[in-house]
Structure 1
Amino acid sequence: MTTLRLDDRNLAVLTLQKQLNALGAGLYPDGHYGEQTEQAVRDYQRRTGLVVDGIAGPKTMAALAGQDIGHLLKQRDLERAAERLGVPLASVLAINLVESKGNGFLDNGRPEILFERHVMRERLLEHGYILPSLGTPEATAAALAERYPGIVNATPGGYAGGAAEHQRLAQARQIHDSAGLESASWGLFQIMGYHWQRIGYASVQEFAHCMAENEAQQLGAFVRFIEADQALHKALKARKWAEFARRYNGAAYARNLYDVKLTRAYEQFAWLQEAA
């Protein structure tokens, strides 16, 4: 689904303006996503409880189409996260815009995941998993990698994407339930399952259950992830975006301009926050 934002000009914007006008926006329908259209989108998002960013993405479009949005991230969820982390709301809005996948769930209602076969191999070794006929975790991992290279492998890759990632996860769970769940990244912020203990869940099964509930739970896991890393939390509080991006995204952050995107997003939302 197309995402519409400030300065876009097309028929989709015209349709959006007509939808907003049907709800009383009073826009001139010219197909230009100007400041008045942006404000009308923010007003609609505020009324429906959605994240107030002025961007007409899939979630705003779903709400306008009358779809159920109960499981989606709400503005109040971000406000609570900002309060818990001790940072301005604009910082959390910026992170949500830049670092999240945009949607925490697939169209079939399952959480967005990405299964990592190389992590599955590592987790099997960590759990000391042994097939009776093989005797050692290393021999077991090698045998499983030969038999199921798409599920257990020393090399990253083998991604299927979308709903097919759940099929890979299901296969992994048949081998070892906990290792399988630990080997996927989950939800809006793609938190790896193996972090479950460090971020305060009773088990990886509880973590996975929470990630399947709603996007607020997924944001909650991300907040815990930041709290568990003192240096990451400190960088966020100081708005040192390059340091935050390096610690969260790794060495490739500069190539992908994550720090630049976070800086710009913060400036955008800081202005909106002051104007609110």
Structure 2
Amino acid sequence: MTALRNGSRGLAVRQLQNQLNGHGAGLYVDGDFGDNTEAAVRAYQLKVGLVDDGVAGSKTLAALAGADISRLLKRKDLQQAAERLGVPLASVMAVNQVESKGEGFLANGRPVILFERHVMFARLQANGMTEAEAEQSAAQYPALVNRRTGGYAGGTVEHQRLAQAKQIHVASALESASWGLFQIMGYHWERLGYMDAQHFADTMSLSEAAQLDAFVCFIETDPALHKALKGKKWAEFAKRYNGPAYAKNLYDVKLARAYAQFAGEHAQEQAA
């Protein structure tokens, strides 16, 4: 679903404006997503507790349609994360906007995952399998165990791949998937303070707030990453979180822009 934001136009915007008017926005319904519509979206997001970014994405549209939003990320979750990390709320909002997958759950209620077959090859050995045995598994199940990356199917099919991999080795399979909003790899479970890989996976299935908590732990347990976030060193943060290809995707530029936007908005709120 394409998010509606300032500058969007068309029938979907008209429908959004009508829905917002149902909550007292008082907008002129013209199908043009301008400053007034953005302000109305932000006001509605604050009213229901969602992250107030002024963008009508799938979560905001779902809330307007009356869907259950209890497992979705809330503004208070980001505020608590900011306090815990000792950084401005704008920094956490910027990271959430740029680094998250946007949604932590699929339409069927399962957490968003991506199964990494090359990680499975390594985790099998980390969990006691010999290299020869791992090679044998790779020869038998190349889509699930492989020295090479790839084989992604996306969406709900990733859970099918995970279920098949669990038939080979449960813990290794859970450790070989990235989980939730911030796609934290399962093999980080011990570093992040979970009892085991299953406990980590079960927690990622609870809520987006639980997924954010894992991300906060990920930052806290990496002093250099935490320092970069505190210092707003966006290039350093992006490099450590996304790897050397961060510049190609302009992650640092996107983070800096998002931070400036949210910091400016919060300053205006405080001045009002």
Corresponding residue of 2:40 = 40
Mapping for residues 207-218 of structure 1, pairs under 5 Å = 207-218=200-211
Corresponding residue of 2:199 = 206
Q: Kindly provide the CA deviation profile for residues 70-122 of structure 1, in whole angstroms up to 9, marking residues without a partner as x.
A: 11001100000000000000000001100000000000000000000000010
Give the match's secondary structure for 2:109: coil
Corresponding residue of 2:157 = 164
Aligned-partner residue type, residue 72 of structure 1: L
Aligned-partner residue type, residue 252 of structure 2: D
Give the match's secondary structure for 1:210: helix
Q: Distance in 2 between matches of 1:264 and 1:7?
A: 17
Q: Distance in 2 between matches of 1:220 and 1:164?
A: 26
Aligned-partner residue type, residue 183 of structure 1: S
How many residues were matched structurally? 269
Alignment RMSD: 0.7
Mapping for residues 30-69 of structure 1, pairs under 5 Å = 30-69=30-69
Give the match's secondary structure for 1:185: strand
Q: Distance in 2 between matches of 1:8 and 1:156?
A: 37
What displacement does 1:2 show?
2.1
Corresponding residue of 1:134 = none
What displacement does 1:160 show?
1.0
Give the match's secondary structure for 2:152: coil
Q: Distance in 1 between matches of 2:119 and 2:24?
A: 51
Q: Kindly provide the CA deviation profile for residues 146-180 of structure 1, in whole angstroms up to 9, marking residues without a partner as x.
A: 11000000111111111000011111111111100
Q: Distance in 2 between matches of 1:4 and 1:99?
A: 19
Q: Distance in 2 between matches of 1:145 and 1:2?
A: 38
Q: Distance in 2 between matches of 1:142 and 1:114?
A: 22
TM-score (norm 2): 0.98
Q: Percent identity?
A: 66
Q: Distance in 2 between matches of 1:23 and 1:198?
A: 44
Q: Distance in 2 between matches of 1:171 and 1:7?
A: 44
Q: Distance in 1 between matches of 2:27 and 2:6?
A: 15
Q: Distance in 1 between matches of 2:172 and 2:7?
A: 47
TM-score (norm 1): 0.96
What displacement does 1:210 show?
0.4
Q: Distance in 2 between matches of 1:270 and 1:6?
A: 18
Mapping for residues 1-276 of structure 1, pairs under 5 Å = 1-129=1-129, 137-276=130-269
Aligned-partner residue type, residue 173 of structure 1: K
Q: Distance in 2 between matches of 1:7 and 1:27?
A: 16
Give the match's secondary structure for 1:175: coil
